[in-house]
Structure 1
Amino acid sequence: MEFRLLRQLLAVAIAGAGLMAAPTAASASAARIKDIVNIEGVRDNQLVGYGLVVGLNGTGDSLNNSPFTRQSLQAMLERLGVNTRGENMRTANVAAVMVTANLPAFSTQGSRLDVNVSALGDADSLQGGTLLVTPLLGADGEVYAIAQGSVLINGFKAAGDAATVVSGVPTTGRISAGGLIEREIGFTLGAQRTLRLALRNPDLTTARRIALAINDFIGVPTATPEDPATVRVHLPRGFNGNIVDLLTDIEQLVVETDQPARIVVDENSGIIVMGKDVRVSSVAVAQANLTVTIAESPEVVQPAPLSMGETAVVPRTDLTVEETSRNLAVVPESVTLQQLVDGLNALGISPRDLIAILQAIKATGALQAEIEVL
């Protein structure tokens, strides 16, 4: 078994070495510039607000347990000319909610946006509710949108005397086009003379390739890589157009991206994701499983005839320890990701055991990759 496993690993290593000797252009990872960068100033802005949802069928907040709902309801009624101060309010058709939304880039006044609604108190469901006028504030404290409308939820809750069924999350909902933009963000993209391109996955090599591709296309030094995450683009003199025209021309350029070798591990779920550039130096790997089996079979013992004894239960425990060991396997030097996976799979290793093996190989210094544990 040992020699057969070693022959399999050796065959895979030889085949992989042949593939490595003649890399092709198809193996490179290429993407458009618009898919790997964010443009400075072209971004969403997060909005948040506090409001009330009314019209619930007895599934709202209990006012005794949610004092903020009581205070908000009283303040709203007072603004409408109804004084309820000092009154004992028992309505269960109102729920306090947090309203969130993303203000898209370059949104104009009067346009619509979608808003999300989430219960803040102990409401059971927002089904059938209507959000009252709620100001949505930005990080600077200014009001940028107003939200109002019927709340649509994806879940439901049904309860009887002895059973309750809950599907999804009935305390969160969404109002499609429920937000009305009242204030615009003052940023004129076309008036800019220089902008930064922010790489979504920072890398020095990729940043330099982006700059070279832009300069080759324009024909003059226009882009400069400043760091692994930033490429600065200047509007060249004599260019027939503004910065928007320039960005439109260069965002379709295809660039071969590059990333450092990395292994991402989620120990809770046993998920392992490896990059294609992961390499392993020559190392020997062995793995053993320890199985402990405990079986309880209590035995009833009867007293002797005509004796004064009592019936008793005597515990009986069968404990078995089994250790399943696998032979030592040699992983050749500088194997590729496919070769490493094939070799470890040949050993019959589970994902959780593979996590421990990769961490052990990293500790020996034989793994040329970064391990990121989620």
Structure 2
Amino acid sequence: MRLTSFNALVQRLLLAALLGVLLPAMAVTAPATAAADGTVRVKDLGRLQGWRDNALVGYGLVTGLAGTGDSPSNRATRQALSNLLSQFNQEIPPDQVQSRNVAVVMVTASLSVLAREGDTLDVTVTSSGDARSLVGGALLMTPLRAANGRTYALAQGPLSVGGYRYDANGNVVQKNHPTVGSIPGGATVEVGMPRTPGETRQVTFVLGNPDYTTAMRVADAINQALGAGVAEPRDASGIEIRIPEDDRSRPVAFLARIENVWVEPDRRAKVVINERTGTVVAGGDVRIQRVAVSHGDLRVSIAAETSVSQPVLIGSNASGARTALVTNSQMDVTESGAGFVASGNTVADLVQALARMRTNTRDIISILRAVKAAGALHAELVVQ
């Protein structure tokens, strides 16, 4: 009896200890799970005004091609190569340049607003002449300029081309686009982006998807976390944030707190359709009114056969006779039984009902367009 009582006591103590560990953990993790359910951080909804990338572009030469560069008839290539050689005391007229191992290219890159001197950028190199392939080539030093005409970076290095092209005796084998290549980290920033001196008193947060409800919720969440009057929505995309006087000396810490404020954004009902790939993406809660869809599959097949009519020459009066091409066409029209489906509630219900009818994706796209035209689809239809 004593041993049984002792075992029961041990079991009760272990159960109490286990509950003491699990309950606080559940209390801590429950809010995080609930927050992660429908809320996101402010930093995931947009950006600060002024935070954008700047486009850079340059004009350069790719050398080292195995006879797949620009043809000798390309005057731009001959002139560019002659100008390049003149910088090394090689005076060669453009009309004497005969090389298929060189190609003129356009070089593009994107400069971040936080780029500093010495940072590297990924560059894209595209052929601007009649080169057949850039495989195996290397880009010579090319200055990259912004829209203001100022040089911000220099690009150079071997190209990485995700394709190839080989031809011999009239036979051509090609994969992807061999006239486009990239150089990861191939450009070095020479001039960083200018930064505004002095302390910052106010910043503007710009939503990625403008929405009045979301803008109001973001402002309310920031004011609840950092104090009343800090944030004020100005329109559907901009929220002005006033930096308190105590935080102006360290704005980075203040903006970090802004970024980590949790808010529940408002979602707009959208149905995205990609006709090229036959893809339909819709939120599961996109509502539609009750609608009836009658769907039939009509197929028209036309086959044409061309034959030669050769006349038989008889006597000497057949000088006007000649050979003629005769085309015989045959048309076949078939129609399968029409299907009927009645649906309500959401787009997902309608798509599932159509899928049970074995309706292909492109027909579903046409049906969704018709439902939208009928006024039964309460969502924005985006066709890509």
The TM-score with structure 2 as length reference comes to 0.78
Q: Give 1:179's aligned residue.
A: 187
Letter in 2 for 1:223: A
- Alpha carbons 2:126, 2:179 under 8 Å: kept: yes
For 1:315-330, list aligned pairs within 5 A. 319=332, 321-327=334-340, 329-330=341-342
Q: Give 1:267's aligned residue.
A: 275
**How far is the alpha carbon of 1:118 from its aligned partner?**
1.4
Letter in 1 for 2:70: D
Structure 1 gap segments, 5+ residues each: 1-23, 299-312
- Alpha carbons 1:220, 1:236 under 8 Å: kept: no
Structure 2 gap segments, 5+ residues each: 1-32, 307-325
Structure 1 window deviating more from structure 2 (135-144 vs 282-291): it is: 282-291
1:353 lines up with 2:363 in the alignment: yes
Q: 1:285 aligns with which of 286, 293, 304?
A: 293
**How far is the alpha carbon of 1:86 from its aligned partner?**
6.2
Distance 1:348 1:200 in 2: 38
1:170 lines up with 2:182 in the alignment: no
Q: Give 1:39's aligned residue.
A: 48
> Bigger relative contact order, structure 1 or 2, given CA contacts below 8 A and separation 6+?
1
- Alpha carbons 1:28, 1:256 under 8 Å: kept: no
Count of residue correspondences: 333
Letter in 2 for 1:263: V
Structure 1 window deviating more from structure 2 (222-231 vs 335-344): it is: 335-344
Q: 1:93 aligns with which of 87, 98, 101?
A: 101
Evaluate the alpha carbon distance shift between residue 109 and residue 296 of structure 1 in structure 2; reply closer, same or farther with a 3 A threshold: closer
For 1:307-318, list aligned pairs within 5 A. none
CA deviation vs aligned residue, 1:302-332 (integer Å, no higher than 9, x gap): xxxxxxxxxxx997958453341123x3324
Distance 2:122 2:377 in 1: 47
Give the greater-gyration-radius structure (CA).
2
Q: Give 1:331's aligned residue.
A: 343
Q: 2:91 aligns with which of 83, 86, 98?
A: 83
Q: 2:351 aligns with which of 341, 346, 351?
A: 341
1:250 lines up with 2:258 in the alignment: yes
Q: 1:112 aligns with which of 105, 110, 120?
A: 120
Percent identity of the aligned residues? 40
**How far is the alpha carbon of 1:177 from its aligned partner?**
2.5
- Alpha carbons 2:296, 2:339 under 8 Å: kept: yes
**How far is the alpha carbon of 1:34 from its aligned partner?**
1.3
Evaluate the alpha carbon distance shift between residue 226 and residue 164 of structure 1 in structure 2; reply closer, same or farther with a 3 A threshold: same
Q: Give 1:219's aligned residue.
A: 227
Q: Give 2:377's aligned residue.
A: 367
Letter in 2 for 1:270: G
Counterpart of 1:202 in 2: which secondary structure? coil
- Alpha carbons 2:158, 2:183 under 8 Å: kept: yes
**How far is the alpha carbon of 1:101 from its aligned partner?**
1.0
Letter in 2 for 1:360: A
1:138 lines up with 2:146 in the alignment: yes
The TM-score with structure 1 as length reference comes to 0.80
